A and B are shown apart, each in its own frame.
Chain A
Amino acid sequence: MLTEERRAFLTQRARQARALTLEAIYRVGRGHIGGTMSIAELLIALYDDVMRVDPSNPSWPERDRLVVSKGHAAPIVYAVLAMKGYFDPKLLDTLNANGTTLPSHCDMRKVPGIDMTAGSLGQGLSAAVGMALANQMDHRDSYVYAIVGDGESQEGQVWEAVMLAAQRKLEHLIVFVDDNGCQVDGFTGDILNMRPFDQKYRAFGWHAIYVEDGHSFDQILDAIHQAKQTPDRPHAIILNTVKAKHVPGAENTYQSHCFSLTREQLDNSLRNL
């Protein structure tokens, strides 16, 4: 259980991550708002409370790694990395700009702290499995975390990776499914329903936890704690989240996947945070 003070601190950090992200996207004119806002609490929980990382040494071999397989969520990952001191937050002004080192999808060759390049959906989890295998081989106790979209889970490659992780008993692999219920063309339930995720992951031999409120720090951290107590299996934590969380008028709409924020919407959102 978090202390009141800690919870308030984390909440404040998530607020800051959202603000930095929305401002950066507003500056470019357009961007992936829905799927960045849905994972703000998760990223803060990971970077502020869970992951073993050293921002001054991003390639530290003993670090915990994060693969954001839904690579289009890059803006908020960059925001959190900047908040952690991986690079100057001023750099966020250059998101998607000409010659930028912060491209729209996660790029490990350009951004300190990004552990895997992603962008074509479904490929990141395979890479995360590869990382966890490497750690297992080298007897490192580091964890590998991955964030996979609910729509993204329609890619067969995700299930190819899921099978392999179970076979290899990758107990230090924790995958978060950002189950925000929306994809580009509609609600996931209408396009291709993948729910219930926990049942699927269990059928494929994983330890699966369903988190009722994917924006609650207590619930997220408790699930990660539970995962770490459970040996011999990889872990899937299904986060019931809200697409475009805290952006007034856009919450829980699939149209929020990628859109242009007006000045008014930005101000409203920032106030709302």
Chain B
Amino acid sequence: MKALRDAFGDEILALGRENPNVYVVDCDIGKSCKTLEFARQLPQQHLNVGIAEQNAAGVSAGLATCGKIPFVSTYAAFGSMRMCEQIRQEICYPRLNVKIACSHGGLTPANDGASHQAIEDYGIMRTLPNMTILVPCDYYSCRSLIRAACQWDGPVYLRFTRDPVPFIYRESDQFEIGRARTVREGGDVAIIAAGAVMSLALQACDLLHSQGIEARLLDMHTVKPLDTAAVTAAIQEIGRVVTVEDHNIINGIGSAVCEVAAGLGRGVVKRMGVQDQFGESGPYFDLLEKNGVTAQSIADTARSLVTGEN
């Protein structure tokens, strides 16, 4: 178990040491976002603009025009909502090479409650042209994708989560932006997931397997550009899809998959995630359960698609 924000802290330090143009722009929460070591070792590549996220986005745009690769580091709620206008206007529209690296995605700032939980962050980002969105699910894929983001020329939104999550991949696994990863192969139902809920989806696959149902599990770590080939294959080869995400069911992976399915004119999709309601303070997995996201419920939903029961 290791947290994705730690993957950020480790990888950004490595990247910063390799490339003096890699900058971190903090908004007074470097401690939680794991950038303190970067700040200590690479002070020349570090800024802290204080509690002024809008300004951080603008400052980073300015840095990028001067050839820097700034990673704005904040919480997902602020990195998406508070900076929304600035990201669109100053970063996406001019297609500047700024990375928005956010910890505390989804419901993971569980105790902080609704104001700090980001249940709409990558939905917002998905609506912005030129934006690439990465939602890694474990420590190793996270590090690999941060490196890929750094090499990618253009705006990238990275969503990390707060608490330790199980290892799913090996250190040597490499990840490519825009290419979904098949975690489990199966032909009865497809589960498409990303982020910290991946471990629940894996458990669901095990539950289904014990009932004789084989699920194909896709790690959709790149929410945009969507790997439409992988989604199309799932719909054409299987036709039954469950999407699982720690995000509002509106505008996230579920909606993106529905767009593809509806466009194909076939298949059925069930979206699992935050049920278009605000979060609250509470333990993370309880909050997910309140929104109907547990290993058991994922398995039940998938099975009902296979058996045709509702």
Looking at A147-155, A198-206, A221-229, A263-271, the stretch in contact with chain B turns out to be A147-155
Interface size class of chain A, counting residues whose CB lies under 8 Å from the partner chain: 20 to 34
Decide yes or no whether B199 CB sits under 8 A from chain A: no
A119 near B50 with CB under 8 A, answer no
Assess the A156–B55 pair: CB atoms within 8 A: yes
B16 / chain A contacts, CB cutoff of 8 Å: none
Is the beta-carbon distance between A122 and B115 smaller than 8 angstroms? no
Q: Tell me if A184 and B28 are in contact (CB < 8 A).
A: yes
Q: Which listed residue, B30, B51, B280, touches A121 by the CB 8 Å rule? A: B51
Distance to closest chain A CB from B61 (angstroms):
16
Instruction: Tell me the A85-139 residues at the B interface (CB within 8 Å).
Output: 96-100, 103-105, 107, 117-122
Any B CB within 8 A of the CB of A71: yes
**B49: A residues at CB distance < 8 A:** 192
Residue numbers in B under 8 Å from A154 (CB-CB): 28, 50-52
Asked if A155 meets B113 with Cβ closer than 8 Å, knowing A96-B281, A99-B282, A184-B29, the reply is no
Bound state CA distance, A104 and B77, in angstroms? 16
Question: Distance (Å) between the CB of B36 and the closest chain A CB?
Answer: 8
Q: Is the CB of A120 within 8 A of B77?
A: yes
With both chains docked as a complex, state the minimum distance between the C-beta of B119 and any C-beta of chain A, in angstroms: 14
Flag if A185 contacts B281 (CB, 8 Å).
no
Q: How many A-B residue pairs have CB under 8 A?
A: 78
B31: A residues at CB distance < 8 A:
184-185
B29 & A192 in contact (Cβ 8 Å cutoff): no
Closest to B52 in A: A154
Residues of chain A within 8 A of B111, CB atoms compared: 28, 30, 96, 104
B219, CB-defined interface residue at 8 Å:
no
Q: Contact string, B76-106, partner A, CB cutoff 8 A, digits 1/0?
A: 0110011000000000000000000000000
CA distance A155 to B29 in the complex (A): 14
- Chain B, interface residues (CB within 8 Å), range: 20 to 34
The reply to whether B50 and A151 form a contact with Cβ atoms under 8 Å apart is: yes
Q: Does B164 sit at the interface, judged by CB under 8 A?
A: no
Q: Known contacts being A104-B113, A119-B113, A120-B115, is A192 close to B281, with CB within 8 Å?
A: no
Interchain CB contact under 8 A, B78 and A120 = yes
The answer to whether A152 touches B281 (Cβ under 8 A) is no
Specify which chain B residues have a CB less than 8 angstroms from the CB of A28 in the assembled complex: 111
Q: Does A50 contact B (CB under 8 A)?
A: no
Cα of A156 to Cα of B27 in the assembled complex, Å: 13
Task: Judge whether B259 is part of the interface by a CB distance below 8 angstroms.
Answer: no
Question: B54 at interface (Cβ–Cβ under 8 A)?
Answer: yes
Which of A105, A151, A183 contacts B115, CB < 8 Å?
Answer: A105
How far apart are the CA atoms of A182 and B114 in the complex, in Å? 25
Choose from B48, B52, B54, B112 the contact partner of A105 (Cβ within 8 Å). B112
A191 to B32, CA, bound (A): 16
Residues of A within 8 A of B81 (CB): 120
Q: Is the CB of A185 within 8 A of B113?
A: no
Report yes or no: A183 in contact with B50, Cβ–Cβ below 8 A.
yes
Chain B 276-287, CB-CB to A under 8 Å as 1, else 0, gives 000011110010
Contact (Cβ within 8 A) A98 B283: yes
Give the docked Cα–Cα distance between A28 and B111 (Å): 10
Which single residue of chain A is at the shortest CB-CB distance from B112? A104
Please list the residues of chain B having a beta carbon within 8 angstroms of any beta carbon in chain A. Answer: 26, 28-32, 48-52, 54-55, 77-78, 81-82, 111-116, 280-283, 286
Residue pairs across A and B with Cβ atoms less than 8 A apart, 8 shown, are A97-B281, A98-B282, A105-B112, A105-B115, A120-B116, A154-B52, A191-B48, A192-B49
Chain A residues at the B interface, C-beta cutoff of 8 Å: 28, 30, 71, 96-100, 103-105, 107, 117-122, 151-152, 154-156, 183-186, 191-192
Identify 11 new A-B residue pairs, CB closer than 8 A, beyond the known A100-B281, A105-B116, A192-B49.
Answer: A98-B283, A98-B286, A99-B282, A100-B282, A103-B113, A118-B115, A122-B51, A152-B51, A184-B28, A191-B48, A192-B51
